[in-house]
């Protein structure tokens, strides 16, 4: 049975946003295109804002509410969320600069960012069902909507790149 609680899951969400902000900020520092640099800097700011929202959610909830374990008798939710947070959404365990250089160009950077945004959305959809209060669910829903906007924004940018 899982020992995760809402506080731990929200901490994972904070880490995902921190990782995303780091990725975007460092990628902005090495790209040559001014337009792509500005886009990446804006995305880094958005991710930092999301991190602050998750941090505030953790502060907002009553301690008792946060310590209530999530019912997960087969550990499926816990394993899924941990796998996503640990390595599949803006993985910060490796060297971010190596990750960025592996993408080679603006097309690669944006494509990678789109994959990570999609993974974030999937994680937050699972998280939304675990957050204990209506207000928390609404905030997570707002972040999901913003992540979808990021994805659409990145998609438009990708399609505007020269082939």
Decide if 40 contacts 115 (C-beta within 8 A): no
| Predicted structure pTM score | 0.74
- Tell me the average pLDDT of the chain: 76
- Summarised one tens digit per residue, pLDDT across range 19-41 is 889 888 988 888 888 888 898 89
Is residue 144 pLDDT above 60, yes or no? yes
**Topology of domain 6-160, CATH:** Ferritin (1.20.1260)
Give Cβ neighbours of residue 8 (< 8 Å, ≥ 6 apart): none
- Sequence spans of domains, the chain: 6-160
Please give the pLDDT value at position 26.
Answer: 85
- Summarised one tens digit per residue, pLDDT across range 84-133 is 666 555 555 555 556 666 666 778 888 888 888 888 888 888 777 766 66
Give long-range contacts, CB 8 A cutoff, 24+ apart: 110-113: 110/36, 110/154, 110/157, 110/158, 110/161, 111/158, 113/23, 113/24, 113/27, 113/40, 113/43, 113/154
């Amino acid at each position: 049975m899982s020992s995760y609680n809402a506080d731990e899951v929200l901490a994972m969400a904070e880490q995902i946003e921190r990782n995303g902000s780091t990725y975007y900020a460092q990628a902005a520092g090495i790209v040559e295109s001014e337009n792509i640099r500005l886009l990446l800097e804006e995305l880094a700011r958005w991710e930092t804002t999301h991190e602050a929202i998750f941090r505030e959610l953790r502060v907002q909830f009553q301690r008792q509410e946060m310590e209530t374990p999530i019912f997960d008798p087969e550990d499926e939710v816990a394993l899924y969320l941990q796998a996503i947070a640990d390595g599949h959404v803006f993985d910060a365990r490796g060297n971010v600069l190596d990750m960025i250089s592996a993408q080679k160009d603006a097309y690669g950077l944006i494509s990678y960012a789109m994959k990570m945004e999609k993974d974030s959305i999937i994680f937050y959809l699972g998280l939304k069902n675990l957050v204990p209060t209506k207000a928390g669910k609404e905030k997570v829903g707002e972040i999901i909507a913003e992540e979808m906007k990021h994805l659409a924004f990145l998609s438009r940018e990708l399609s505007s790149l020269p082939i």
